[in-house]
Amino acid sequence: MDKHGLELIGSTICYHDGENGKIMEGTITDFGTSHLKGDWFLVIYDDDTAVEITASDMDDILKNRVYTLSDEVDHITKGTSSLFS
């Protein structure tokens, strides 16, 4: 997860939260590795709540990611393939 963790810093992600049934949006602001906790991510949500998330939880979030039109525009601008194909 090291390489992917660094690439995610600064990314805003929207995802379906299976626990509360809501679409959540947060920005990944930090990533690290700890001997005690393993890999972790710091996510700041719209209400300024900061949550430290394990790598396993981040994998689940990414599996439940909801792509928006702005995500698609970013991919097109960067010259990468469409998210919606």
Q: Taking 70 as the threshold, does the pLDDT of residue 75 lie above it?
A: no
Q: How far apart are CA 62 and CA 38, in angstroms?
A: 18
Q: Taking 90 as the threshold, does the pLDDT of residue 30 lie above it?
A: yes
Can you give the residue ranges of every domain in the chain? 2-77
pLDDT at 78: 62
Residue 24 β-bridge partners: 15
Q: Mean pLDDT in the chain?
A: 82
pLDDT at 47: 92
Confidence of residue 71 (pLDDT cuts 50, 70, 90): low
Domain spanning 2-77 has what CATH number?
2.30.30.140
pLDDT at 17: 87
Confidence of residue 51 (pLDDT cuts 50, 70, 90): very high
- Counting every residue, how long is the chain? 85
Q: Taking 90 as the threshold, does the pLDDT of residue 54 lie above it?
A: yes
Report how far apart, in Å, the C-alpha atoms of 9 and of each of 18, 20, 21, 28, 83 are. Answer: 23, 25, 25, 5, 20
